[in-house]
Amino acid sequence: MKAEESKLSKILTDSRVYEIPRYQRPYSWTEKNVQDLISDVYDAFEDKQPEYFIGSIITIEKTKDTLFEVIDGQQRLTTLNLILAKLRDLIIDSAAKQEVQKRVLPVNVLTGESEKPRLIIRKQDQKFFTNYVLAGIHDQDTTDISETQLRMVNNLSEIDTYLKDKDQQTLKYFANYLLDKVYVVFVTTDSFASAYRLFNVLNARGLSLSNGDLLKNKLYDLAQSSASEQDEIEESWNELEDLIGLKNLDIFLSHNRTSILGSKQQDVLFKEYENYLATYTKKPSFFCKELLKSATNYIKITSKDFTEEKIKRLITSLQNVSYDEWIPPLLSFMNNNVKDLAFADFISLLERITMHNWVRRFGRTKRNTVYYNIIVDINQNKLGFDIIATIKSFANNQEFINSLKSDVYGMGYAAAVLLRIEQEMVDESVAKTFNGIISIEHILPQSLKDTYWQDRFSIDQHRLWVHKLGNLTLLSGRKNSAAQYYSFDKKKDVYLKRDMKVSFDLTKEVCNESDWTLAIVKARQEKLLNKAKEIWNI
């Protein structure tokens, strides 16, 4: 076995051929996957990074230094062929075009005939791949082609969109960067089993393999005695990558790990999964199916893919929190069949305790203690009553409200609290979404420059109330300097103009006031605190 960092120019040389074995799934990368890869490499090119690493390619060496069977990395390898083929199409200079051409499909300079492609894919797609992609013959009918072939067409179009506006010098320099500065860890071995075991060797040497790569390898290693089991793993894993995306895979795996174990991570993520799988009693393919189910729920959470407006509202509130440690307990609940506790009731409690933890300024360890206990309850199949009791045991309604009574402006949670109260000012059947920049506005300004404010607030009263919840509202756009020190009537004019873009009921209520006095600030403070109790009391 051998593993080495290799430039693409060494990998994609005219002396080597790569074959995708029949048991592999077909090419499945989406336009988003391709966009991520080419934009990442191009950003590195623009930043003049001396080298850029794009992952690993694991192979079985069938014929010494000539023929390699690709065990892992076919998606990247196929996409690299697409990118180089499109660069070949776009580059005008014949010498540069020929240099790129030979990396994907060598052409006999004497006869003009194409030779053997550098990449051999599935038999049913190879002719289309060779002609349409590698040879650049685009005059064939693409109306009745396979899903795999359609992916190639769409991905080539995506690459063309990204590159077509670049000038000729940039295209040539980028092609050179791709071949000379982009690296993979190229792994060669003489057997299927050792190819996957080598993942672990590479990781021990500190090479940059993702936790997803290592976990996938471990699952294959556990299933090496069963070809059908490996096929199921491959199918589920490819679905997982398509669903989550390679960039976000490790983030999801971290959340999923916590949703299973309900404890602080003690080791690198892959090792934690490896230890868990050592005690896993079901087939590794079943673990993959569980992983895929969890990934589907994770996407529902991150995209707020729920029909009930109440649940969307709660997810939005959670997503406004400055940390995402609430995701694992929610994943755990969705992945398990919890008795006697409706999903809407659980997520309501989770949002409440999360806001309690945030507003009460709990540190990460203290916050996670709450979540870990919830996860353990769920995974031990406890009843809903017990889960509710656990959440209640960590709540402190009075401490939470006392925190909101103090100066709120400047706290990380200030905007989230105001937005959540804003949401609750309309019926649950109404969905309010806010895009763009939202700023917090002091109604009583931070400086008593105008006589209007000097006549209504003493220096002590100003100091006491200026940063309180009752004196704050929301505006669309960046911090408003136009109205900051003006009288209340002038401020309202600015608010109403701003409110034409984004309508905040909190700000409308302020504009309905004829005056802004200490009594009004106190009354509004009490009203908003009562609303906060209604929303967040446990």
424 and 341 part of one domain = no
Residue in the block written with tokens 């390699």: 68
The rounded distance, in Å, linking the Cα atoms of 163 and 296 is 33
Total domains, the chain: 4
Is position 14 within any domain? Answer: yes
Is position 239 within any domain? Answer: yes
Is position 329 within any domain? Answer: yes
Residue that terminates a domain, selected from 365, 395, 425: 395
Chain segment 88-122, per-residue pLDDT in tens: 999 999 999 999 999 988 876 656 666 789 999 97
368 and 455 part of one domain = no
Specify the range with the lowest mean pLDDT, choosing from 69-73, 428-432, 518-522. Answer: 428-432
380 and 413 part of one domain = no
186 and 334 part of one domain = no
Nearest to 535 by CA among 406, 394, 352: 352
Domain that holds residue 479: 405-536
Question: Across the chain, what does the average pLDDT equal?
Answer: 89
216 and 154 part of one domain = no
Is position 400 within any domain? Answer: no
326 and 422 part of one domain = no
- Helix (H) / strand (E) containing 185: strand 182-189
317 and 359 part of one domain = yes
Is position 460 within any domain? Answer: yes
Chain segment 353-374, per-residue pLDDT in tens: 999 999 999 999 999 999 999 9
Residue that terminates a domain, selected from 332, 361, 395: 395
What's the pTM? Answer: 0.71
**Beta carbons within 8 Å of 107's beta carbon, 6+ residues apart:** 98, 101, 113, 114, 115
Once rounded to an integer, what is the mean pLDDT over residues 212-223? Answer: 83
**For residues 49-84, b (16+ Cβ closer than 10 Å) or e, as one string?**
eeebebbbbbbbbeeeeeebbbbbbbbbbbbbbbbb
Chain segment 295-316, per-residue pLDDT in tens: 999 999 999 999 999 999 999 9
258 and 293 part of one domain = yes
312 and 292 part of one domain = no
111 and 162 part of one domain = yes
374 and 356 part of one domain = yes
Nearest to 246 by CA among 195, 211, 271: 211
317 and 170 part of one domain = no
Residue that terminates a domain, selected from 204, 227, 255: 204
Is position 187 within any domain? Answer: yes
